[in-house]
């Protein structure tokens, strides 16, 4: 009985072999077409370890502040930029606008070029990608062309996080939109590191832009920390000058007071010191102490 069923199945397959061959061939060609239309994407990844300041260390600004009687230890934490802030920096339009002008090196090209120059002068999309763009992707192009009138002018402006205005032309806008989908920043809050990556169909561009992204991000962080340090320094300098002026006035006042008491003492900053000779008597020393104690009445 089983042999009969097997013979029946074989007979059926032989009778339908032409149809089976045609169906198999169609799906085979369809698979080749789909595989050919899928673009190879190369991703380059690198890691950044943020340099966190130690809060228990007294830096130069803190030392200057302490002389003026100012405590800025609580504000020192501002020098540390948390890992979750890095994506906001990278995704800002000002950062991406600078990134598309970063110099990169591409094989067989003598001089360095920018991201924009690569796509404008070097990059050549393959035929299948062009066909795919204007067939499957045609509806998206139409919607993009007629769906919004927000950026119809040759120049447009964006408000940055610091309230400054960034003006972009159509070319810059085009490549900022393109690079937005290629770069990625992933903060690892547990380990305190930053993973940055760049993806492109060109492996050389992927490597070079990942490097440019890392260097640009590091320089931006240094710039932000420098600005923070400069702000703190200016604030401390102003406070120091104010305290110094007050102490100088108090020094002159105390000096005249001590001289009226027959004691030669001159405060140094916020410190009153006694430089007594070894031959000073107990009565003379008590007179000095009494003058210092009475000085609190005029302070």
In this structure, of 82-86, 105-109, 152-156, 280-284, the range with the lowest mean pLDDT score is 152-156
Token pair of 248 as six digits: 């100088």
Give 84's contacts (C-beta < 8 A, 6+ positions apart).
187, 189
Provide, for the chain, the percentages of residues in helix, strand and coil under a 3-state DSSP scheme, each rounded to the nearest 5.
60, 10, 30
pLDDT of residue 105: 92
pLDDT of residue 183: 93
In this structure, of 19-23, 70-74, 89-93, 109-113, the range with the lowest mean pLDDT score is 70-74
Beta strands 42-48; 183-188: pairing state: unpaired
Residue whose token pair is 């991201």:
115
pLDDT of residue 4: 59
Kindly tell me if the per-residue pLDDT of 70 is higher than 90.
Answer: no
Beta strands 155-159; 183-188: pairing state: unpaired
Residue pLDDT, tens place only, 116-167: 999 998 887 654 454 444 455 556 546 555 554 443 333 444 444 454 567 8
Neighbours of 220 (CB within 10 A): 19
Neighbours of 174 (CB within 10 A): 15
pLDDT of residue 52: 56
């Amino acid at each position: 009985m089983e042999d009969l069923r097997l013979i029946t199945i074989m007979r059926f397959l032989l009778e339908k072999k032409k149809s089976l061959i045609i169906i198999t061939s169609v799906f085979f060609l369809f698979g080749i077409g789909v595989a050919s239309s899928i673009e190879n994407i190369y991703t380059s990844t690198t890691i950044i370890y943020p340099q966190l300041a130690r809060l228990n260390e007294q830096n130069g600004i803190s030392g200057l502040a302490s002389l003026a009687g100012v405590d800025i230890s609580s504000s020192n934490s501002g020098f540390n930029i948390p890992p979750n802030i890095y994506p906001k920096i990278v995704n800002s339009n000002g950062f991406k606008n600078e990134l598309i002008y970063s110099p990169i090196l591409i094989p067989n090209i003598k001089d360095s070029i920018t991201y924009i120059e690569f796509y404008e002068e070097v990059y050549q999309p393959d035929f299948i990608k062009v066909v795919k763009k204007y067939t499957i992707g045609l509806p998206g192009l139409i919607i993009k062309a007629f769906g919004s009138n927000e950026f119809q002018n040759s120049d447009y402006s964006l408000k940055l996080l610091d309230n400054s205005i960034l003006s972009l032309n159509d070319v810059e806008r085009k490549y900022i939109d393109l690079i937005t989908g290629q770069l990625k920043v992933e903060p690892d809050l547990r380990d305190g590191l930053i993973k940055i990556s760049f993806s492109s169909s060109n492996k050389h561009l992927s490597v070079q832009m990942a490097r440019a992204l890392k260097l640009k991000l590091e320089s931006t962080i240094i710039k932000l920390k420098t600005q923070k340090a400069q702000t703190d320094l200016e604030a401390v300098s102003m406070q120091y000058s104010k305290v110094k002026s007050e102490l100088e006035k108090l020094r002159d006042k105390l000096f005249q007071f001590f001289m009226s008491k027959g004691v030669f003492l001159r405060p140094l900053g916020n410190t009153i010191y006694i430089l007594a000779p070894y031959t000073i008597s107990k009565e003379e020393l008590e007179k000095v102490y009494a003058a210092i104690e009475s000085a609190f009445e005029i302070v």
